[in-house]
């Protein structure tokens, strides 16, 4: 196909649908590789920011994006008609779960595919990057695109390549993470491999789109299951009077056969709390009960309630109920050093504590304002006053400014606050951790 020649010569025009945590880094990498790149998003604030050369994603510094925009290598729009000039299209839209049922919501994928079908042309590569259940690419997208009379593998190419973005990771970025690729046909796989080979040194081809879709689900289900084990171990260690963090550190010293995972208040982010349910949903359709995966989801999903009970027990030891107690939550982003609070367990912890009448405030230097799950809050300053006025401090996210290794420092700060005032009643009575 002539398309491969355009990819190799960097003359192919790239369009990326969805300018979030996956799409914007991909736009930057494609532009840096030499491709004329167009970002498409229905959010006007994102489009305007990109066209000003201003980034809203930590992994794409403004000083990296702006020169690409000023050089004419990157532009953004909400007009899907630009797809008519695109040679390669990557779909990077959200794939949430339906509220209540936890069933896959692929409406964003379908919407993107409908737009592509309106402007598809011969010698075009379409790649889905959004995490989804096995069969989405060939069962949902393929019929929509072939419905216009063109054939995959002959007139255009269709493939799946799972995103592997790890927000806030300074070591592994879009440009140096191996890309897994599976196409509808061998030619589709070959073309997609050439496309991603322009931005990364390693492309791993698998047999088809279903295999590629399942690769992503295995990656995140692996993490969900092992985090669930760490959480259950943490609860067991509490019963036994053992420090689970000391246990994990000790086990991690083994140079083979062990990979450390850490307990926490639950799962957060755009992948791990969601992706396993895509797999178990598909399994049920095949009459298969993925018990192990479901159990991990139950354990991790229950952790915010466990944290609420730990807080209740800690306050009870001081003769106080949750109701009316001042509770300071440290960290509401779902992981350290990012501003992403999507699916953050800290949000549920705050909600549960407020439901019990707790006077809850939070501090997070990366999330100055929190607007999730009906909450509307602003971060308070982490000051001596904030600590001394708190009845309980809850470590909810391992930011580098107050990660587990810093909990002892934080506890010392609380004690120092008490000593400075000379009144035991003016300090936080408990720093709560698993």
Helix axes 275-285, 209-240, angle to 10 degrees: 110
Q: Tell me, what's the pLDDT at 411?
A: 42
Check: CB of residue 136 under 8 Å from CB of residue 158: no
Model confidence at 183, pLDDT cuts 50, 70, 90, reads very high
Burial of residue 101 (number of CB atoms within 10 Å: 0-12, 13-18, 19+): exposed
Cα torsion through 404, 408, 414, 419, rounded to 10: -170
Nearest to 279 by CA among 343, 217, 224: 217
Q: Tell me, what's the pLDDT at 406?
A: 42
Q: Tell me, what's the pLDDT at 109?
A: 98
Compute the mean pLDDT over every residue in the chain, rounded to the nearest whole number: 90
Check: CB of residue 145 under 8 Å from CB of residue 156: yes
Domains, in order of start, for the chain:
2-209 (3.40.50.720), 220-296 (1.10.1040), 302-432 (3.40.50.720)
What predicted TM-score, i.e. pTM, was given to this entire model? 0.89
Check: CB of residue 156 under 8 Å from CB of residue 124: yes
Distance in angstroms (rounded) separating the CA atoms of residues 156 and 192: 11
pLDDT, one tens digit per residue, over 239-285 is 999 999 899 999 999 999 999 998 888 888 878 899 999 999 999 99
From residue 70, alpha-carbon distances to 14, 51, 77, 289, 315 in Å are: 17, 9, 16, 53, 56
Q: Assess whether pLDDT exceeds 90 at residue 407.
A: no
Catalytically annotated residues? 271
């Amino acid at each position: 196909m002539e398309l491969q020649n355009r990819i190799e010569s960097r003359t192919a025009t790239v369009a990326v649908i969805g300018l979030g945590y996956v799409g914007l880094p991909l736009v930057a990498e494609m532009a840096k590789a030499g491709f004329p790149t167009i970002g498409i998003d229905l959010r006007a604030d994102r489009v305007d920011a990109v066209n000003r050369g201003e980034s809203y994603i930590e992994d794409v510094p403004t000083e990296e994006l702006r020169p690409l925009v000023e050089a004419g290598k990157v532009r953004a729009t909400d007009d899907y008609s630009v797809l008519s000039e695109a040679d390669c299209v990557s779909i990077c839209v959200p794939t949430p779960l339906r509220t209540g049922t936890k069933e896959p919501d692929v409406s964003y994928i379908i919407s993107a595919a409908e737009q592509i079908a309106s402007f598809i042309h011969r010698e075009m590569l379409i790649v889905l990057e959004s995490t989804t259940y096995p069969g989405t690419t060939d069962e949902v997208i393929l019929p929509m695109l072939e419905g216009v009379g063109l054939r995959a593998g002959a007139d255009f190419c269709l493939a799946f390549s799972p995103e592997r973005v790890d927000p806030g990771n300074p070591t592994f970025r879009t440009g140096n993470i191996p890309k897994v690729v599976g196409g509808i046909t061998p030619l589709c796989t070959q073309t997609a491999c050439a496309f991603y080979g322009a931005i990364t040194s390693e492309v791993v081809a698998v047999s088809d789109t279903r295999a590629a879709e399942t690769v992503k689900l295995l990656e995140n289900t692996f993490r969900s299951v092992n985090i669930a084990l760490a959480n259950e171990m943490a609860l067991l260690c509490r019963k036994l009077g053992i420090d689970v963090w000391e246990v994990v550190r000790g086990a991690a010293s083994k140079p083979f056969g062990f990979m450390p995972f850490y307990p926490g208040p639950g799962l957060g982010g755009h992948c791990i709390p969601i992706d396993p349910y895509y797999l178990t949903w598909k399994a049920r359709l095949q009459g298969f009960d993925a018990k192990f995966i479901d159990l991990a989801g139950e354990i991790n999903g229950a952790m915010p309630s466990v944290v609420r009970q730990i807080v209740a027990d800690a306050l009870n030891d001081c003769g106080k109920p949750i109701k009316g107690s001042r509770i300071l939550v440290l960290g509401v982003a779902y992981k350290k050093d990012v501003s992403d609070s999507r699916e953050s367990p800290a949000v549920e912890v705050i909600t549960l504590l407020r439901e019990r009448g707790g006077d809850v405030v939070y501090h997070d230097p990366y999330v100055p304002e929190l607007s999730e799950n009906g909450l509307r809050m602003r971060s308070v300053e982490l000051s001596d006053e904030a600590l001394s006025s708190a009845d309980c401090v809850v470590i909810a996210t391992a930011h580098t400014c107050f990660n587990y290794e810093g909990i002892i420092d934080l506890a010392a700060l609380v004690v120092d606050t008490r000593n400075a005032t000379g009144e035991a009643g003016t300090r936080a009575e408990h720093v709560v951790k698993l």
